[in-house]
Amino acid sequence: MNVINKFSVAPMMDLTDRHCRFFHRKLSEKALLYTEMITSKAILYGNTRKLLKFNPAERPLALQVGGSDPAELGQVASIAEELGFDEINLNVGCPSSKVKSGCFGAILMKNPDLVSKCVEAMKCSAKTMKVSVKCRIGVDQQDPSVTLPAFISSVSNGGADYFIIHARKAILSGLNPKENRTIPPLDYSIVKSMKEKFPDLAICLNGGISSLDVASNLFSQGFDGVMLGRASYYYPEIILSRVDSRLFGIGKPKNMIEVISELIPYIDEELDFGTRLSQITKHLMRAFLGYKNAKEYRRYLSENAFKKGADSKVLLNALSIIDPNYI
């Protein structure tokens, strides 16, 4: 069985960009971080270097790609490995209308043979990089007890190193992406049964995991890894600053004021290259939930980080507002 990272932060569109990931890495040395989903065509025919730019400090880092053309995905895997990504992940779980029309994402669960060919092409191109698949338990009217094991069997034959399974169905007609994150009921039992049915495959559970307590309990049930999305993003101190000590047994929870202060050199360097301060500070808005004056901190950043010429002094001024004690 492939050894996988036991904790990862889910790829989230408009959230897990490179500035977010740099911040998250300051909070956790061990968490596997993911890019936002990028389509294979955008990578091959767009501004590749800009789309795939990352700071080496972000590693371990996985690239999530959307696509269904094996040849294109093979090329993308080769590029990703050359650039230094640690893993490439095929998105077979996103339920938006865009991915449906583009023939990638959750709709591909209806075509496991094609997904298997895509994975095989990626594995052939990626000599050392892991290739994983993120999927749902099924789509629309599929019976997960029937279609999910068939999907996993087919795709694992293509060479997938492991599976990240969001424990909900994707409803492609009638629910928007936001609704698909909450309305379809969670079914951890079907994912657990896949681990029992395929004991030699590594299975990572995703969906509705709200705390490190829940994550720890899931490990005791036999899951190889957990992936948290919005809980990690919106509660960075409660989740990410404590994940190394809680789940990996190393270090101690990070001090958020110290972590934010450590971002100043990175911010100064990014501003010199034309990045706007607000592109970075938007990921720091929820850093101090539960602290005295946290509301004032957020207000100060909201009112000042967007101004022309705003620099790291704005963030330092915002930090000075924070009372290091909890409410």
Report the 10 Å Cβ neighbour count for 117.
Answer: 20
Do 282 and 298 form a contact (C-beta atoms < 8 A)? Answer: no
327 has pLDDT over 70: no
Buried b / exposed e along 233-243 (16+ C-beta atoms within 10 A)? bebbbbbbbbb
- How would you class 193 by CB atoms within 10 Å of its CB: exposed for 0-12, middle for 13-18, buried for 19 or more? middle
Q: Residue 324 has what pLDDT? A: 83
Among 25-34, 102-111, 245-254, name the one with the lowest average pLDDT. Answer: 102-111
The string of pLDDT tens digits covering residues 68-114 is 999 999 999 999 999 999 999 999 998 866 555 567 899 999 999 99
What does the DSSP 8-state code read for residue 8? E
Mean pLDDT of 30-57: 97
Handedness of CA 291, 296, 298, 304 (dihedral sign): negative
Question: Catalytic: 94?
Answer: yes
- How would you class 246 by CB atoms within 10 Å of its CB: exposed for 0-12, middle for 13-18, buried for 19 or more? middle
Which two three-digit tokens encode residue 17?
A: 């960009």
In the chain, % of residues over pLDDT 70: 96
Of the pLDDT bands very low, low, confident and very high (cuts 50, 70, 90), residue 173 is: confident
Q: Residue 97 has what pLDDT? A: 61
Q: Residue 103 has what pLDDT? A: 79
The string of pLDDT tens digits covering residues 294-319 is 999 999 999 999 999 999 999 999 99
Taking the whole predicted model, whether its pTM rises above 0.75 is answered as yes
Q: Residue 45 has what pLDDT? A: 97
Q: Residue 1 has what pLDDT? A: 61
Mean pLDDT of 50-55: 97
Q: What is the mean pLDDT of the chain?
A: 95
Handedness of CA 175, 181, 186, 191 (dihedral sign): positive
Q: Residue 87 has what pLDDT? A: 98
Q: Residue 176 has what pLDDT? A: 86
Of the pLDDT bands very low, low, confident and very high (cuts 50, 70, 90), residue 275 is: very high
Mean pLDDT of 31-53: 97
The string of pLDDT tens digits covering residues 174-226 is 888 889 888 889 999 999 999 999 999 999 999 999 999 999 999 999 999 99
Task: Give how far Cα 251 sits from Cα of 30, 31, 111, 130, 174, Å.
Answer: 11, 13, 44, 27, 46
Q: Residue 191 has what pLDDT? A: 98
Catalytic: which of 94, 118, 135, 204? 94
What domains are defined for the chain?
Answer: 7-247 (3.20.20.70), 256-326 (1.20.120.1460)
